[in-house]
Structure 1
Amino acid sequence: MRLKSYKSFIFLFLLILTKILVFCYFTRLISGLIESTIEEKLVKPTLTKPPRKKISELVTVLIREFEQHENDITLTSHSFVNLFATMELFIIYDELPYPPPDIMLNNNTSPNIKFVKLSPELRTNFADSYPISKIRTKYVLIVPDSTRLTSRQSLQTMVQKLSSNPGSIVVTVVNNHKNNLSCLRMNINLREWTLKYDLIKSMICDGVSGKHVMLLETETLKKVSNAFLLPFPHSLYLQTASLDLKVNIIKGLSFHEGKPLFRSHHAQWKQKQTEALRIKKLYNIFKIKQVKRETGLTEWYGCSKETSRCFGTVLDSMPSYLYDKRWTPPCCISNLRKTAKHVFGILEESGIRYWLEAGSLLGAMRSGDILPWDHDVDIGFIREDLNRCEWLKKAKSRSVVDTKGFLWEKATEGNFYRVHFSKTNKIHVNLFPFYSKNGTMARDSWYTTHKNMEFPENFLHPMSSIDFVGRNVPSPNNIRDFLELKFGKGSIEIPEYPDPSKLKFP
């Protein structure tokens, strides 16, 4: 009996001990899990999405496109501030609008509206007058004068479009009964100083014409050389197109025309004159001399008979524009063609034996025209014929302007002659006198700017001819041999600048 009782005791003891061990194990396990969970929460906090930013925290509004003498910037500004009370709005100007608009006089009522003057002033540092440095948002909405926004959703739509196409520009029309946007392709050739517009049927462009608003990233404004040049936004599209940034047009948004501006004939005339002056200044800044409009019209913004030529002194036959990686300005090439044709006509009327020389003959062989980087035209003639031409004869003793306004004179750096486009514009044709000496056509006296001028006389017996600047002119025979004698083997096929050691052909 006692043995049985003892066995029961042992069994009960072992059972209780087992339960205690199991309880301790599970207690320890649960405790570990709890500590692990707490540690995990401390080390890896719960990830939550950042709060969505308001439109007013993403976008700054800029007004640049307005006139001093007549504008609607007060109501335009309030149109945006009334919908987005905390949105910052910058009004950018060159000179103080006068009379000052109401919004400037009562600026305390709209603290988020700020005026930024671009033109430099004493005691104003660059950072304080540079609008982009003041922008704290990711996007910038640029609004033309007399525009109204009637729906928040329109701006949200533009932001969504730009966020899905970063690095681009989003635009939409300012609606009125006659306003439409034209999509333009802009071909800028800096080397040739030219700009060509083409009208295209697309929603993706290099630039647009017509009244519109644009949304772009603040970083895009930082990429261009001068974001707020006038006329605006034309100046900005020139710069963004050169960086290959595209414009996306979207339709159906709630931007509308505000107060009608420039209703009188005088105001319209004044506005047209102002725009023309701004365009001329803009193209001068960016060194654009020839513009081909989408209408087919060609506009010139370079030199003329009444102005100086587009480049300065030429050193060692190298004009300065070559170092700027440009070729001869197209206006200079055009004026040089006119001068050359005029000189050809005078020489033929006078009975002077002449021929195309040096780099001009090289250009004629390559393309029938002046070399695209050349700054003059070279002509050789027989010295004994000089007195047959009244203008050359007069030029021996003094400069003389002929009946067409071209200036004839003897060169100061050698015994040869020049015919300039005009007394003011010194783009010119060189006339080199040669004479026969022991079977060689020798140059008359010395030249410091032209080398390798002499050649065997048989190249002129008989003479040949070649097309040049749109007409047929005399030339030496065996032109290839003549040019390779002067410039080396393969000179026709392999183009070189006057001094290839200084600049390589691009």
Structure 2
Amino acid sequence: MSLNPMSASRLNMRLKRRLYTLAFIAVSVIIILVIWKQITLKSKDNTETSIPEGKGLARNYSSIESLITVVIRDFEHYDNDVVETVKSLLKTVPGLKVIIVSNSPIYPPLQWKYFDHSAVKVINLKLEVGGYKEDRDLLYHVQTKYICFVPDSVRPMTRNSFVTLLKGLDEPNVHILAAPVSEVSLTSCQKMDLQALKWTLVYNITPSELFCDGVTGKHVLLVEKEALMKLPDPLILPFPDALYIQAKAKNMKTRLLRTVVWSSGRPLLQSQHILWKKHRLNQERQQRMFERLSIKRVVRGGKDEWYGCTRESARCFGTVVGDTPSYLLEGKWTPPCCLNALRTTARHVFKQLQIAGIRHWLEGGSLLGAMRSFDILPWDYDVDLGFMREDLPKLSWLLRASKSPVVDTEGFVWEKATEGDFYRVQFSRSNRLHVDLFPFYNKNGTMTKDTWFKTHKQDREFPAHFLNPLSTISFIGLNVSAPNNIREFLELKFGHGVVERPAYPNERLLKFPVELIPTTQRTPDHLDMGYY
């Protein structure tokens, strides 16, 4: 059977349409397969290189430049390797943002020679009268999520040096990461006991710890910018010591890596003269740092370091108004250097009174401190003693002080107080921390004196039988004279339950914090704790 021409034409058109349809489907399938393959490859690449989403950091490690800004803070003007350090950083990660931070204009200037350092920013923290606030604000110039602090003269081994830091920081509650330079054994984990109330910082080394309060030795730091914003002044020198102390105050831990991915550059500070200069600068910087951070006592390796007042300086606080020293209003107790000066002065006075045979006893808040903890009250600013007025002529220093201030052979200043009929013994001419000596006399069986302080409720007469006989009590490491029936004597002066109920001198102005009330009694073994 033959087809007519019209039928054959229609059949050909149907076949063509089917072929076109099949071709379209085939091409579509190929396109879909290609797209699917690309998506699969990209997904695989992201799986291998992106940061896990534990802290929401689903970023590509290949984009280090958009994640990290490198900051060089710890270097010396007179001997540094900053230029070569920057070159190494930019060679490893071209396009990396680098900021150099200095307390003053760098002198002598860095020698860049033919190296293009246009992308490197230098921040001078020195106040310039014609400058702007933003000029000295590191965080203003950082646009990345992380800041990598590198010490002078370091080299990233590879691009992976930064990737390792990013991976290490991706842990719950870790905001700071430290990575050793050259050798793990050269870094150690520090534990800190920051006692802001007592102006004290205690360091301990714990080499095996993973999470630290601070790190010693040459190391690189990776810090979240958001975490750095919570610290009041993290760039204080010596760096990063000040950063760690401020982080401790915010309960921020530092994770210490045990992997070495950074190496050292050229050796620095090689000559004896430069080493001496570095040592002297470190001492000055530490002094300024602890002063700014309100730390006056540092304990390292069981040894005390003092950064507060001395015999040659003024005491740490000014004139006391309303029986409330300024440090109490700052939420702190008496600086430990001041307490030490008071103890030294009191021991000297006890010795002189004993040698002269003057009858004397602990009075007021000092007796209360002895009853509680055998020490000065940790917020007190003087020591109070009573003595028999008729015994005054036995001690030449008191007799001479009645006319004008006199400095004894050990440098203590004896004087008659300007506020009334009593005496003071000061730590030195410069440092006026003192012991007050109140002359009492017996008037018809009652101990009285000629000067009273209306604002001191404990400043009152008392029966003479409390001094007949005198007792002794442990105080500042000595057995000293005290009234008999001490608890009864104190409750007569201060009120019932005073030994167990701590209070600041002027409760109308400042009440004692409830959270600081002790739940157990102290013993002489607790003296070093400095609480009561």
| 1:84 counterpart residue number | 93
Match 1:330 to one of 321, 324, 336: 336
Match 2:132 to one of 125, 141, 148: 125
CA distance in structure 2 between the partners assigned to 1:106 and 1:115 by the alignment: 18
Identity of aligned residues (%): 46
Q: Deviations over 1:294-326 (max 9, x none)?
A: x22211111111111111101122111010110
| 2:154 counterpart residue number | 147
- Asked if the contact 2:406/2:415 (under 8 Å) is kept, the reply is yes
- Asked if the contact 2:174/2:255 (under 8 Å) is kept, the reply is no
The answer to whether 1:75 aligns with 2:97 is no
* Structure 1 position 87, deviation (Å): 1.2
- Asked if the contact 2:342/2:383 (under 8 Å) is kept, the reply is yes
Moved over 6 A (4+): 48-51
CA distance in structure 2 between the partners assigned to 1:198 and 1:51 by the alignment: 37
User: Which sits farther off after the overlay, 456-465 or 416-425?
Assistant: 456-465
CA distance in structure 2 between the partners assigned to 1:497 and 1:378 by the alignment: 16
- Look up the SS of the partner of 2:447 in the other structure: strand
Match 2:403 to one of 386, 397, 402: 397
CA distance in structure 2 between the partners assigned to 1:361 and 1:442 by the alignment: 18
TM-score under structure 2 length normalisation: 0.83
CA distance in structure 2 between the partners assigned to 1:134 and 1:344 by the alignment: 60
The answer to whether 1:224 aligns with 2:234 is no
Q: Deviations over 1:77-115 (max 9, x none)?
A: 111111111111000011122221123x767x1222111
The answer to whether 1:250 aligns with 2:260 is no
The answer to whether 1:366 aligns with 2:372 is yes
Q: Deviations over 1:215-271 (max 9, x none)?
A: 010111100000210000111001111111111111233211101111001111110
Structure with larger Rg? 1
Q: What is the correspondence of 1:62-461 to structure 2 with a 5 Å cutoff?
A: 62-103=71-112, 109-165=116-172, 167-175=174-182, 180-200=186-206, 201-293=208-300, 295-447=301-453, 450-451=456-457, 452-461=459-468
- Asked if the contact 2:414/2:424 (under 8 Å) is kept, the reply is yes
TM-score under structure 1 length normalisation: 0.87
Shift in alpha-carbon separation, 1:106–1:335, aligned structure 2, 3 A? farther
Match 2:60 to one of 46, 52, 56: 52
* Structure 1 position 168, deviation (Å): 2.0
CA distance in structure 2 between the partners assigned to 1:446 and 1:172 by the alignment: 63
CA distance in structure 2 between the partners assigned to 1:328 and 1:91 by the alignment: 40
- Asked if the contact 1:167/1:220 (under 8 Å) is kept, the reply is no
- Asked if the contact 1:229/1:282 (under 8 Å) is kept, the reply is yes
- Look up the SS of the partner of 2:186 in the other structure: coil
- Asked if the contact 1:413/1:448 (under 8 Å) is kept, the reply is no
* Structure 1 position 122, deviation (Å): 1.6
- Report the residue type matching 1:301 in the other structure: Y
* Structure 1 position 494, deviation (Å): 0.5
- Asked if the contact 1:188/1:242 (under 8 Å) is kept, the reply is yes
- Look up the SS of the partner of 1:256 in the other structure: strand
* Structure 1 position 166, deviation (Å): 5.1
- Asked if the contact 1:414/1:447 (under 8 Å) is kept, the reply is no
State the Cα RMSD in Å.
1.6
- Look up the SS of the partner of 1:102 in the other structure: coil
- Look up the SS of the partner of 1:269 in the other structure: helix
* Structure 1 position 426, deviation (Å): 0.4
CA distance in structure 1 between the partners assigned to 2:509 and 2:453 by the alignment: 21
Q: Deviations over 1:399-448 (max 9, x none)?
A: 00000100000001111000001111100000000111122101124446
Give unpaired runs (5+ residues) of structure 1.
1-47
Shift in alpha-carbon separation, 1:306–1:160, aligned structure 2, 3 A? same
CA distance in structure 1 between the partners assigned to 2:341 and 2:439 by the alignment: 24
* Structure 1 position 52, deviation (Å): 3.2
- Asked if the contact 1:464/1:475 (under 8 Å) is kept, the reply is yes
